[in-house]
Structures are given as structure tokens and as C-alpha cells.
Amino acid sequence: DWRGDPASALLEVLDPQQNHAFRDHYLDVDFDLSEVFFICTANTLSTIPPALRDRMEVIEIDGYTEYEKLRIAQEYLVPRQVRVNGLKPGEGAFEDEAIRAIIRDYTREAGVRNLEREIGRALRKVATHIARCQAECDLVVDAGRVREYLGKPRYRDDALLRTELPGVVTGLAWTPTGGEVLFVEARVMADRGGLILTGQLGDVMKESARIALSYVQGELGHLGLPEDALTDRSVHLHVPAGAIPKDGPSAGVALVTAVASVLSQQPARGDVAMTGEVTLQGQVLPIGGIKQKVLAAHRHGLKTVILPRANEIDLDEVPEEIRNELTFVLVEHVSEVLDVALARSVPFQAESQQLDAEELSLGGNGRSRSPSGAPVHD
């Protein structure tokens, strides 16, 4: 139409019943588009009308890993920015650790657009330094100079610090720009307020929170807590970054662990991240976005990732160099999650649920360990 709505135009163009005589309403001319192959790109699917999305074959392209970004930067971005900023070839070289520092502390993105922008900023400082140099100076940018040139880091990996207190758990989330770490906080208060939820949670995530609380209420005895631990008390669950909407079922295990942690006053392990949907019976169901979530855990320096056992096959999508640096715990029941995440001295056993957890170490000696530390043979 005259307002130029691209979705409406594409809806007509992609209709096989009429695109052999597609009419351009501006030129008032018919075009035969029946043999045209259309390739469309988008940052997110949520803004594409369902009718239009139904006529497309969606191919999702994952974001780059840190290793891939490093290679792209050293082979393409740095040479291009050296040229753009008036430096000679060889001037303004970056050490690998300097590139990694920019990736981790100054950019959080699926691609490399901001990475190139920050490299350009640093190289302009290098050019200024060289211009002021009386004699010849061959300046190499190392990790120390990155902060000098780019200022205070924009991002911090504070998972270990934030989980020092009981009731705070590290979860994993998926966004259109890749995976991200998601913190879940729980607090118990002496009133009859029931369940309080904050953090811009969507309907599905609110249901996950209710399921988590109901499950813990039914298993208080097996947690080593008195049966009246929640009597005349309310539970407040909060997911920080309150300005960002959040939804989906994959925070179920983190919600259960946060409630169990605050009730038992046992802090969650700071080096553990988790994701998975939980049922009222405590079963852990598979979820999506495994590759992106694992990459986020690795980027934040976490060492152990708890995943649904049904998602084991999805680990094949994770680059080998990332798998080799992480330990994966595959679980079927939330009791296994609590044994690992809360580091309990006495393993938690849910009634009628005696399931074994398998901890996969996909690099190194090829052996696995159970959550209790005993070897498990493949």
C-alpha cells in the first residue's frame, strides 16, 4: 500500500497463486515473480506476522563463538581498521588477549559489528600515540592497554559474587542476539502473601514459578526442612534486569533451586549454571537454545552446566574447544539438580524418584563423574 508496509508486500509476493502476476501498486505494472527465489533476513522472528512466516522456510544462524570472533578480528577487522585509521600495515597489532578482553568486557553481541567499532576506537588512540612519538615506536595493543584506550569495562562476569548468598541461582537464557546468563533470586518473608513475582515475567515463566513453589512445598521433608517451613510465609521470586521482558519454561530448574536454596540457607555453587523445564512431579524436560546457552556459560567463566538429559544430542552443536573446557551434568529429575547445585552433604532424594545423574566431561581423559564424585564408566 501507499504506506510501504513490507510485510503486506511480501505476503502478496510470496503467494504462489498470484505472484505470477504481481502488481507493483506504485508503478502500476505487473511482474512475473513465480520463478524468483527470495532470501529475507531478520534479527528476530517475533515481529514477523504469522501469515508471512508460514510462507517462509526459517533457517536460524547462530552467533559467533569467542574463538570465531578472535579469528575474524585478527584476519579481517584489525587490518581493515588499521587501513581506515591511517596506520601502516604492522602498526597497531593486537595481542589475542587484547581481542578477548574487548569481546568479553566491551561487547555482548551475536556478530562482530560492535567489536569492529571498539577496535577502531583503540586504533585511533594508537594513531594519536604514534603521531606524538618523536622516534619510531612500534605499539602493540595488549590487554592492559585495552582498558587505557576504551575506559571502564561495560560488562562484568559477576556470577560467583552474586551467588554467594542463599536464594540466588545462575540460570541460562536465549535471546535473539545469543545466549545470556540469567540470575534468579528468592526471598522468604513472614506473611501470607503467597507467591510474589517480579522482573517483567511472561505468562509461561509465571507458571514455571508456581510449579517450582508447588514442587518444593511437596518435598519439604526430603529437603530436610520442617513441613511447616512455608506456613504463614510468602515467597518472592525476582529475575533481575527488570526492564527486560522475560518468558519461557526453561528457568524451571533455576526457580526450584532458588527456592530450595533460600529455605535451606545453602548457597548455590557459583560456578554452576542450569537450564531446563520442570514438571509438578520434578521431571526435567528438554528445552531449546542449548548451543547459545552453553556459549553464554563459557563466556561468563562458569565451569559446570546442568542440562536435561534429553538435550544430550544438542551438545554436538557446541564447538569442541568449548566442550573441552566445560563439565556437563545431564539430569532427568530436579533432585539431581539440587545435589549438584547446592553441594549438599546428604544427597537429596525425592520420594519415588531415585534417578542417577550423569556428569559428562567431553574433553580430557574421556571419563565421567557422577554428582557425588564417584567415577562412572562409559
246 carries an active-site annotation:
no
- Beta strand 304-308 pairing with 272-274: parallel
- Produce one character per residue of 148-178: b if its CB has 16 or more CB atoms within 10 Å, e if not: ebbeeeeeeeebeebbeebbbbbbbbbbeeb
Helices (H) and strands (E) in the chain, counts: 13, 16
Helix (H), strand (E) at residue 203 = helix 203-218
214 carries an active-site annotation:
no
Nine cell digits for residue 63: 552467533
Is residue 370 packed enough to be buried (19+ CB in 10 Å), middle (13-18) or exposed (0-12)? Answer: middle
CA 79, CA 90: separation in Å to the nearest integer? 9
Where do we find the cell 612500534? 138
CB-based contact 111:63 (threshold 8 Å): yes
* β-sheet bridge partners, residue 234: 189
Out of 208, 246, 250, 368, which one is annotated catalytic?
A: 250
Out of 261, 293, 335, 368, which one is annotated catalytic?
A: 293
Helical H segments across 286-333, by residue range: 290-299, 320-323
State the catalytic residues.
250, 293
